[in-house]
Structure 1
Amino acid sequence: MATTVNERPRLLSPTYAATTVGMFALCAFVAFEATAVTTVMPTVARELDGVGLFALSFAAPLASGVVGMVAAGGWSDRKGPVTPLAVALLLFAAGLVVCGTAPTMEVLVAGRVLQGLGGGALTVCLYVLVGLVFPPLLQPAIFTSFAAAWVLPTLFGPALAAYVAHVAGWRWVFLGVVALVAAAALLIAPSLRTLDARATGESSPRSRLVWAVVGAAAVLALELLGSRRGAVAVLTVVAAVVVVVALRRLLPTGTLLLRHGLPAVIATRGLLSGTFFCGETYIIFVLQERWGLSAGVAGLALTGVGLVWPLASWVQSRLGPRLSDVAAMRGGSVLVLAGIVGLTAAVAVHTSAPVAVAAYVLAGAGMGFAYPRTSVAMLAESGDSDRGFNSSALSIADSLGGALAISASGAVFAIAARADGDAFVAALSLGCGVGVLAVLAAARTRQAAPRSTS
């Protein structure tokens, strides 16, 4: 799209307004379904008699999202972003419909898989479109709007989801978004018609998609098998081995060993996600079960994180070079660990609900402090030959790290429940263990030896 010579391009100028609003809305809808549904998921699990699959309902979209990201990236490189974007929208909408009409928890989890595939692919396609539709002068602004689109659902989404569930039922938390997704797609459709259906860059190896599928399936199988009784549970070991093999193919050499430098940076990102999202998965559930809070009141915990995460991110950005990337990652990971340990302790001794919420919010502050610096550190450790691979690896570690921790915590939750133990404490304790690994990984992010790019 082009503007007149004398007109300074603006995101909301007539040329770009519809596309800007449509892209912002699609990002916000993906974010809403990724975060706000946390408020209603305990109700969903109880109503569908599927508490045993509660953790899997969170791990599923994270794991399948990796497949969507890798598939959409390669497809966009080969054929351009228009067709993959259309498929992503259909998958995302189909997932919403399946979730909203699910008669059982198993069907709902299947819908969450579709949501993740569509949401992951949609995010990648939108990033590709930014480079094709908007001039370089506007690209930083549109990416800033994407960040805002993820923050707003965290602030207002939990209360909105709780209200919709109270007034119309939890199914409309999913179904109500379908029409909005269609409206947003119509807004960006005119800009898509101006694009050529051609490749936009060098295609990535298709083997990455294969390993993404294998890794995602193994992560989900880990929870399903680990929560079962008897000999079937032994297959958990097989699933774990498959996860390790897949991650070795998708991440830089040495990542799983926390090797100094870039591998430790990638590992830190994945372990931080695993620690934090383990807490996020159970915070609303435990506030309702142990303290009897309503979904709306419990959702204030998510709102608190929505406030402190961007604030902590702003603080670390203002410190700039006075705070090294290594120090930010170390400090942030310690805060995340302190938060998840505090949450676990609050649940174990059944202290007041505000203490549990404050611990979770502290973990959110740690994420805001460390999370952006993992991206900066990754780019600093990358060259022209491996920047794309490393960027992809960071996103894969982010999503699969969270999915793996949630799946493992779900298995631990089920085992503890069968043994008449405290299932919440058991699941959150696993998050504490992941947090310890995050601190260890962050301590090794300083380059100590020549890095490997394979």
Structure 2
Amino acid sequence: MSSATSSGATNGRRDGILSPAYLATTVGMFGLIGFVAFEAMAVTTVMPSVARDLDGFRLYALSFAAPLASGVVGMVGAGMWSDRAGPRAPLLISMVLFSLGLLTCGTTPSMEVLIAGRVLQGLGGGALVVALYVVVGLVYPSLLQPAIFASFAAAWVLPALFGPGLAAVVASAFGWRWVFTGTILLVLVALMLIAPALRRMKPHPQGTTTPLSRLGWACVAAVGVLALALLGADSGLAWGGAVGALLLVFLALARLLPAGTLIGGRGLPAVVATRGLLSAGFFCAEAHIVFVLQDRWDLSVGQAGVALTLVGLVWALSSQVQSRLGTRITHERAMHAGTTVVLVGIVTLFVAVAFQVAGSELSPVLPIAAYVLAGAGMGFAYPRTSVAMLAESTDRDRGLNSSALSVADSLGAALALSVAGVAFAAAERGGIDPFLAVYAFTCAIAVLGVLIASRTRP
């Protein structure tokens, strides 16, 4: 136990997370979470411009899948390292990797180098979040931990509200490269704020040892997702390699997720599968929403980014609604209702794109409204997957199940984005509108999500 924890336990009732004892640490940690969230949202806004400048539309989907896939490796690795030796070293290394990834993306000469930067960015970002959660347990007394975690939630929400607009302004005034490199100095400032708390932490006692096989399977899954996207974008013999990579990803998932998850087994496996399918369908649609609004409706970066801001608002409001309903709606009904709303939103988005491709002059309000509707469904169902998972866990497997939920979340979205990239490239070669192919695929995922959500009752 750290000195901060032991001393804070006695005065935690009068000291808040913004009291002098914790102010710098709280602001620094809030900033780090916010920077990870900002980069995730800002990149969605500027990536069409990036791909256009670097002639890299073939790797567009991979630019989103890469950090999600490598982030799983970072999460698992940082968790194991923190349990074994404490969070100080994992946190510092994760900040270096995250910053190096941003620098690589901001100075990239090609889309291929940008993908490498995104891998580093995801690896560092995933590890950073896990290490910060461990730091909270060591620095803050138990009375203050709910407050600091609530601040983390706000750090994720605020970039959704202001990130797209800020990214559009920065890209317009200074160029899209500054969306990446401009954050590096802020990461350094955050490190200076939390450094005193890290120095005060006592040496970590002998910790637990997690089997290295779990980290190995996380690496296999990440490599499989990246290989699938790269090989599937080509034609010919490369398709055989893509199929092999897909099988490899499913093999890794079978080792990382609870038994029965891949077939939607009733109860906990279905809860974890629902979380993965929600992320897969929605974030695949989100990665292409700014792209399609610019390409098919001729909106500017700032105008298209409004959709992302609205989704942040609606997601937060919908989450509050399901929270206030509490036990008046069962977890199963909440997840089923939310996945159904996501399905309606994505299907409407597909129909809007289809009519626009067919020559109808539809207002961009329709696809934006459809995407926002899907965000409302996410806000209603997404939090309940966490609550349902905890309700079906015990002291013996709560940590393992929490990890599985995060793995399903990230790898579900990464795998869907990789497959969407394959579909995009295949549609272009076949003379089919690529956005129709992508949104048809996301519709199929959303349908599967509704079916699996109906099996979440224990």
Q: Normalised by the size of structure 1, how large is the TM-score?
A: 0.97
- Answer with 299-308 or 195-204: which moved more: 195-204
Cα 1:217/1:115, change in 2 over 3 Å:
same
Q: 1:41 aligns with which of 42, 47, 65?
A: 47
Q: 2:417 aligns with which of 399, 403, 406?
A: 406
* 2:449 pairs with one of 418, 438, 441: 438
Structure 1 segments (4+ residues) deviating >6 Å: none
Give the aligned partner of residue 68 of structure 1. Answer: 74
- Alpha-carbon distance change, 396 to 200 in structure 1, aligned in 2, over 3 angstroms: farther
Which residue of structure 2 aligns with residue 452 of structure 1? none
Provide, for residues 4-57 of structure 1, a one-character-per-residue CA deviation record: whole Å limited to 9, x for no partner: 759711111110000000000000000001112111000000000000000000
Contact (CA 8 Å) 1:76, 1:200: kept in 2 or not?
no
Separation in structure 1 between the aligned mates of residue 210 and residue 391 of structure 2, nearest angstrom? 22
Match for residue 401 of structure 2? Answer: 390
Write the deviation string for residues 134-166 of structure 1: whole angstroms up to 9, x where unpaired. Answer: 011110000000000000000000000010000
Deviation at 1:202, TM superposition (A): 2.4
Distance between the aligned counterparts of 2:355 and 2:104, measured in 1?
39
Q: Deviations over 1:356-396 (max 9, x none)?
A: 00000011000000000000100111112111111100000
Among 434, 437, 448, the residue aligned to 1:426: 437
The answer (yes or no) to whether the contact 1:337–1:435 under 8 Å persists in 2 is yes
Cα distance change, pair 222–5 in 1 and its aligned pair in 2 (3 A): closer
Q: What does residue 363 of structure 1 align with?
A: 374
Measured in 2, the distance between the counterparts of 1:248 and 1:437 equals 18
Alpha-carbon distance in 1 for matches of 2:382, 2:429? 36
Partner residue in 1 for 2:427: 416
Give distance in 2, aligned partners of 1:199 and 1:111: 35
Question: Residues 262 and 378 of structure 1 are in contact (CA less than 8 Å); yes or no, is this contact kept in structure 2?
Answer: yes
Matched, 1:129 2:135: yes
For residues 61-103 of structure 1, give each alpha carbon's deviation from its aligned partner in whole angstroms, at most 9, with x where no partner exists: 1000000000000000001000000000000000000000000
Residue 200 of structure 1: CA displacement?
7.4
Q: Do the aligned residues in 1 keep the contact of 2:13 with 2:143 (CA within 8 Å)?
A: no
Q: Secondary structure at the match of 2:396?
A: coil
Whether the 8 Å contact between 1:332 and 1:366 is mirrored in structure 2 is yes
AA paired with 2:311? V
- Structure 2 portions without partners, runs of 5+: 357-361
How do 1:227-238 and structure 2 match up within 5 A? 227-238=233-244
Match for residue 315 of structure 2?
309
Query: What is the aligned partner in structure 2 of residue 95 from structure 1?
Result: 101
Distance in 1 between residues matched to 2:74 and 2:99, nearest whole Å: 14
Match of 1:52 in 2: 58
- Deviation for aligned residue 1:196: 2.3
Classify 1:368/1:423 alpha carbon distance in 2 versus 1 (closer, same or farther; 3 Å): same
Aligned-partner SS, 2:347: helix
Q: Which moved more, 1:336-345 or 1:284-293?
A: 336-345
Alignment-derived partner of residue 150 in structure 2? 144
Corresponding residue number in structure 1 for 2:265: 259
What amino acid is aligned across from residue 406 of structure 1 in structure 2? L
Q: What residue is the counterpart of 1:295 in the other structure?
A: 301
Give the secondary structure class of the aligned counterpart of 2:147: helix
Residues 194 and 411 (structure 1 numbering): CA distance in 2 closer, same or farther, change over 3 Å? same
Q: 2-side partners of 1:117 and 1:85: how far apart? A: 12
Deviations 1:201-240 (A, max 9, x none): 4232211100000001101111111111111112111011
Q: Which amino acid aligns with 1:389?
A: L
Residues in 2 aligned to 1:201 and 1:270: alpha-carbon distance in whole angstroms? 30
Q: CA RMSD in A?
A: 1.1
Q: TM-score, normalised by structure 2?
A: 0.96
Q: Aligned partner of 1:120: which letter?
A: G
Q: 1:272 aligns with which of 270, 273, 278?
A: 278
Distance in 1 (alpha carbons) for counterparts of 2:269 and 2:449: 12
Structure 2 Cα separation of the partners of residues 287 and 385 of structure 1? 47
AA at the equivalent of 1:412 = A
Partners of 1:222 and 1:337 in 2: how far apart?
Answer: 26
1:106 is aligned, of 102, 112, 121, to 112
Aligned pair count reads: 447
Compute the displacement of 1:316 (Å): 0.3
8 A contact 1:416–1:426 mirrored in 2:
yes
The change in CA–CA distance for 1:6 and 1:372 in structure 2 (over 3 A counts) is closer
Q: State the identity as a percent.
A: 63
What is the alpha-carbon distance in structure 2 between the residues aligned to residue 6 and residue 273 of structure 1? 37
- Please give the secondary structure, in 1, of the residue aligned with 2:55: coil
Matches of 1:198 and 1:217, distance apart in 2: 32
> Which of these residues, 314, 327, 335, is aligned with residue 333 of structure 2?
327
Query: Conserved in 2, the CA contact under 8 Å of 1:80 and 1:200?
Result: no
**Is the 8 Å Cα contact of residues 93 and 115 (structure 1) preserved in structure 2?**
yes
Check conservation: 1:312, 1:366, Cα contact below 8 A: yes
